[in-house]
Copies of this chain bind each other. A is one copy, B any other.
């Protein structure tokens, strides 16, 4: 039985190593630009986002991370000396939380600030899940709410009165600040428990939701399936109030159409129907965060779609004083 070669396009590179024993090299590189104004949280988000590609393949143990930084030339020496170590500390703390370490990396000067990393794991066959085993009757689970881009941008609009005018009829400043905090919390959270539970509940495949939005990643996952299946999404869990913001902006964010890019989003997982509820309960018990059954796997031609009027699930359902979720 040959090892399926997962090339560029799915979440990680999977390479059989020369020294045999069934070990494979699984690795990913990711870098991008800051989208929150707290450098410590930005470091954590970056690390969580890089590791997420391993977690999507069921790989819970990362052997090493490299850090990739581009320091903006437009920073003053003081800004650089303060901000860069804080970003690095956030990245490092998140790596420690993930049980891994950062050994190696590179820093260059660049017009824009760039942050990223490389995550590498050497795995035995039991440690990873090739994401191509969805069968008709499976359901789709999502482990983090959508709306990170909408919340980051609407937070920026607090300072731009013309943009703010577009959405101020549907949200308060406080709603936006809270959504922004929720989004930072969500983006800096590791998908590691979600990944570990994929093994326990016999997941048939997964991907993480990032730059292509929920539907884009669902389509990528559908395309690589061995069986003739398609994914139908019925429910969209969204950070509270962000669906209203997206609607108020017309089609600009494409959130409810599934195209709004997410950063360090959740895992989208194909699970046997009878295991999915237990999976969601277990993740909530271990982490205190919800996961949702958002769709079903039907017979089809390896595509994915969102139904016409999907149900929007506000996350959290109710505001609780002094609590985020």
Contacts and interface: CB of A to CB of B under 8 A. Distances in A.
Given A105-B8, A112-B110, A112-B111, A122 B31 contact: no
Interface in A1-48: 5, 7-8, 12-15, 17-19, 21, 23, 25, 27-33
A103 interface: yes
A255 interface: no
A126 to B, nearest CB: 11
B27 A122 contact: no
Contact of A31 (B5, B17, B30, B108): B108
A277 interface: no
Nearest to A124: B19
Contacts of A110: 70, 110-112, 114
A52 interface: no
B29 A105 contact: yes
Contacts of A149: none
Contact residues of A: prevailing secondary structure: strand
Q: How many copies does the complex hold?
A: 2
A33 B111 CA distance: 12
A104 B29 contact: yes
Interface residues of A, number: 41
B25 A63 contact: yes
A32 B103 contact: no
A118 interface: yes
A-B pairs with lowest CB-CB distance, top 10: A13-B104, A111-B111, A13-B103, A15-B64, A29-B66, A17-B122, A118-B118, A29-B106, A25-B63, A17-B63
Interface of A: 5, 7-8, 12-15, 17-19, 21, 23, 25, 27-33, 61, 63-64, 66, 68, 70, 101, 103-106, 108, 110-112, 114, 116, 118, 120, 122, 124
28 contacts: A5-B103, A7-B103, A7-B104, A8-B105, A12-B104, A13-B104, A14-B103, A15-B63, A15-B64, A15-B101, A18-B61, A19-B21, A23-B122, A27-B64, A27-B118, A27-B120, A28-B66, A28-B104, A29-B68, A29-B106, A29-B118, A30-B106, A31-B68, A32-B108, A33-B108, A66-B118, A106-B116, A108-B114
